[in-house]
Structure 1
Amino acid sequence: MKVKYYTGNSLAEAITKAKQEHGSDIILLDSREIKNTLDGSKIVQVSISVDEDNGKVKAWNPPAVKKNQKALKPSEVETKEDFNSVISNILSRKPKTLEQEKKILEELAELKEQINKLQQSAVNDPLPLPPVYEQILSALQEKGFNKKMAESLIKRVYQLTPKGPKASKGEIIFALKKELREKMRFFDISALKAADRQKVIMMVGPTGAGKTTMTMKLAAHPQIFAQREVAIISTDPYGPSEALKAFSRMSGVTVIEKKRHDELGALMRQLKDYDVVIVDVAGNSPFAPQFVKKMEEYVKIVKPHEIFVVASLNMDLEDLLEAASLYMLLKPTGVILTKIDESRRIGKFFTLMEELELPVVAFGDGKRIFIDIALPEEGYIFEKVFEGLA
């Protein structure tokens, strides 16, 4: 017996070189990576055992491919070349002379099987949670979080909280707030009210969302537009509401009725000296025919600097997302969430934020114009979400 060495860029290449010189009856003794002294790259070196005889050895070549062989479709290739098939084919070739190769491939097959079992186990057997985590998970879902988001949050907190299963309810909620904080986006109201040029704001949203009420609240709030010269344009086909007329008398804010698109352009030019012009677009179903086209006409004429989508949190989450998503075609810059006081499932706020990816401008929390509005602050929403949990 004689030991010889061959190198190649891969194990297969090195073995092929050996077989081409000594035929297929070689015994693989060892394989290892070595450094190429010429360029520093890694190559594979194999050592083989061959018989010392004087007979001429027939050179080995890879099996030839038949010229008329029918080409396989990609799906057929994948089926024939799956991991276990490749291993079986190699092992059946030379079980006596490829013992080392056989051992390596068998170990790879076993390792792959173990990995598959672990992955399947992770899917079928989710990580069990201690009772305190399960309680908070259930409470989050009752608060309006969808199941997927609630489970993801709880599992992440469980894995990252230093005390793990021994964490208290307060510590878990503290960690939850940290995770939720990263999902919040708030509109910069200070930059909006401090603008040195006229700001045109367009309020859009489905019927009954509270656009007119929030229009008045923005105009009256001392930290928003109460100190600016504000004009409100109502596009309601039935004219300004009685509440809007009363608000105009009490606050001194100019309220103008315009029903036709062709009147808006001239009106906007007449209002050029106002600091803020808020266009209260009449409520309409986003599923109505020509809805998007009508909204785009308003955008072209009004040329708003900001478009705020007004959405009511007392709606079913799926309906809320579907309606709000259609307004996304207008490329809005912020969202106003109303009727907080009419919903006990405030957790849907976070799902809405994740789906729309819009900053929150304000919260409507009641019907009183001069009082029931909240600026976007994490403390406000956390108080609503975690009320009764701590």
Structure 2
Amino acid sequence: MKIKKYLAESIREAMMMMIKRELGDNAVILSSRRIKKGGFFGIGGKTYFEITAAVEEKEEEKKVENASTYRLQEILIKNRRSLDDNIKDEFDEIKRTISEIKQILVKEKSQTLPEGLSKISYGMEKQEIIPEIRYKIVEFLKMKYGDLDPGSKEAFKILSEQFSNIIRTKVPDFENVKVLFVGTTGVGKTTTLAKLAARFKIEEKKRVAILTLDTYRIAAAEQLKTYAEIMDIPMKIAYTPKEAEYEMMALKDYDVLLIDTAGRSHQNDLQMSEVKALAEAVKPNITFLVVAMNYKLDDMKKILEKFSVVRPTHLILTKMDETSVYGTFVNISEITDIPIAFVTNGQRVPDDIFEANSVELARIVTSEVLSCAGSGGTSQEK
């Protein structure tokens, strides 16, 4: 219904001159009232009729109006999405700002610390332990002990306990399992798989088989084939998820089936979809996400986020021998609930790999932190 108001000297004039011309013959008067306009303080004004008229809209007009309404809704939705994106960007910026403020606050707090704790805080900073953890540990030590000598056995014991409480480790049970290895390019998945294959075959006397889905690099398959032949382990190659299902059926009677995949970029959504499809075809009991310890923390966070599509059950940290920073053991346990299962510290097969143990990893971190604390001065000097 279309409604409009008119002002005329008479209802007849309104009907004839205005309403019918604009609304047509089907228009009806809904209401009318007399009003005065002009004059001075109500004197000498002229009387008019204010008339409210209406008419049912034509079908074509309704369609136009509906189309306009639909278009308006589209514009509103588009603007809302744009607004949501802007809000997300602003929220991310706020989070970054808060993180920076936290780091500043941690540095300011450290300036009021006793000398020993200040050196320990400096050592943790040099080992790139994130500010939140540094602050919590130092505040706890200050409250409970007042100060600690970084060179003392007591400091080593106490700090190790603190790190051990943070680090998450767990070695899975390898009985009648399919084990999938995933990760970015160059982290050492194939070599790590070979190390574990040798361990299961030689040390634990398990019946082991290997399936590789890494058909992107010929060298990778050849390398794995060489390892398999040396250890007298059967190896199969699958080029598609369907082939993988077929080959797994042929290897189903083995105690442990180790499944290699090509390195995929966490920044490539298509490649992440491929990894997800492979994982869904394989249906592993254990999924190892292999991460290099020489990655930056921000990169590790993104890798953990993107590879969550395959639901990794455990982490394997590689390239410990290629870094002098061991805060990763602590940091990664702070940013994810996925436990560390193994750590590799060289290229030798099968030697350079060990089971992750929170106590031992904490001792490694503590040793480096206190070494930095003893040689690098205090955080006030930075």
So what's the TM-score if we normalise by structure 2? Answer: 0.64
Distance (Å, rounded) in 1 between the aligned partners of 2:134 and 2:278: 39
CA-CA distance at 1:302 after TM superposition: 0.8
Contact 2:212 2:261 in 1 (8 A): yes
Q: What do the CA deviations read for 1:48-98 (whole angstroms, capped 9, x no partner)?
A: xxxxxxxxxxxxxxxxxxxxxxxxxxxxxxxxxxxxxxxxxxxxxxxxxxx
1:180 aligns with 2:163: yes
Distance (Å, rounded) in 2 between the aligned partners of 1:200 and 1:351: 29
Distance (Å, rounded) in 2 between the aligned partners of 1:184 and 1:175: 15
Partner of 2:63: none
1:385 aligns with 2:371: no
Distance (Å, rounded) in 2 between the aligned partners of 1:386 and 1:379: 10
Partner of 2:191: 213
Contact 1:217 1:370 in 2 (8 A): yes
CA-CA distance at 1:142 after TM superposition: 0.9
Q: What do the CA deviations read for 1:167-199 (whole angstroms, capped 9, x no partner)?
A: 56432332222221111222234xx13x3xx20
Residues 1:383 and 1:267: Cα distance change in structure 2 (over 3 Å): same
Contact 2:190 2:260 in 1 (8 A): yes
Distance (Å, rounded) in 1 between the aligned partners of 2:150 and 2:224: 50
What RMSD over aligned residues (CA atoms) do the two structures have, in Å?
2.4
Pick from 204, 218, 225: which aligns with 1:245? Answer: 225
Partner of 1:134: 118
Distance (Å, rounded) in 2 between the aligned partners of 1:124 and 1:140: 12
Contact 1:157 1:172 in 2 (8 A): no
Residues 1:368 and 1:156: Cα distance change in structure 2 (over 3 Å): same
SS in 1 for 2:288: strand
1:146 aligns with 2:126: no
Partner of 1:10: none
Residues 1:124 and 1:245: Cα distance change in structure 2 (over 3 Å): closer
- Paired residues, what number? 262
CA-CA distance at 1:212 after TM superposition: 0.7
SS in 2 for 1:221: helix
Distance (Å, rounded) in 2 between the aligned partners of 1:225 and 1:203: 21
Identical counterparts, % of pairs: 25
**Matched AA of 1:364:** T
1:202 aligns with 2:180: yes
Residues 1:126 and 1:186: Cα distance change in structure 2 (over 3 Å): closer
**Matched AA of 1:172:** A
Residues 1:224 and 1:284: Cα distance change in structure 2 (over 3 Å): farther
Q: Which of the pair is proportionally richer in helix?
A: 2
Residues 1:152 and 1:123: Cα distance change in structure 2 (over 3 Å): closer
Partner of 1:111: none
Distance (Å, rounded) in 1 between the aligned partners of 2:108 and 2:213: 56
Partner of 1:258: 238
Residues 1:340 and 1:311: Cα distance change in structure 2 (over 3 Å): same
Partner of 1:118: none
**Matched AA of 1:205:** G
Distance (Å, rounded) in 2 between the aligned partners of 1:159 and 1:339: 37
Q: What do the CA deviations read for 1:119-144 (whole angstroms, capped 9, x no partner)?
A: xxx99974721111111111111112
Contact 1:232 1:254 in 2 (8 A): yes
So what's the TM-score if we normalise by structure 1? Answer: 0.62
